[in-house]
Amino acid sequence: MDYKIVFYSAQKTSMCERRLIKCLSANQLSHSGSSFAVKNDALGAKLIEAFDNCEITFLIGGLDFADSRSAVKIISNAAAESEPELVRKLRGIDGHDGYMLKSGGKLMVMLPDDPEQIETIAQGELSEYLKYFVKTS
């Protein structure tokens, strides 16, 4: 199964990308591309594009903002309309958590832009859920 990565105001993109790809290789997932967004409207366009091509999209970055740029707030507002089937917090280290949201057979995983955090989250409960998601899709 293919997935895309969307970076949103992320700073360590190449390190995060390499770490995530390495962690996901054991889950029968294949990286089919990455894109970048800096502004809110660009983020929406990149996510729509990613979901048009793949069942899984990883959003890296934007989780630490407390203002209107917050990826959590942006996705929460969008998800309120879609009534997602699953919303789950993914525990990271020292409160740097990620999130998982499933709606309409599509899965979005939001991760902090830190390679160590990505590895911790990807090798934890996310790994088990991805195995289940791939098997049932």
The gap from C-alpha 10 to its chain's centroid, in whole angstroms, comes to 12
CATH code assigned to 2-136: 3.40.980.10
Question: What sections of the chain are H helices per DSSP?
Answer: 13-24, 40-53, 71-82, 115-122, 125-136
Nearest Cα neighbor of 113 from 105, 124, 102, 121 is 121
pTM of the model: 0.92
CA 131/CA 48 separation, integer angstroms: 24
Bridge pairing between strands 98-103 and 2-8? unpaired
Mean pLDDT of successive 10-residue segments in the chain (137 residues)? 94 93 90 93 91 94 87 81 82 87 92 94 92 88
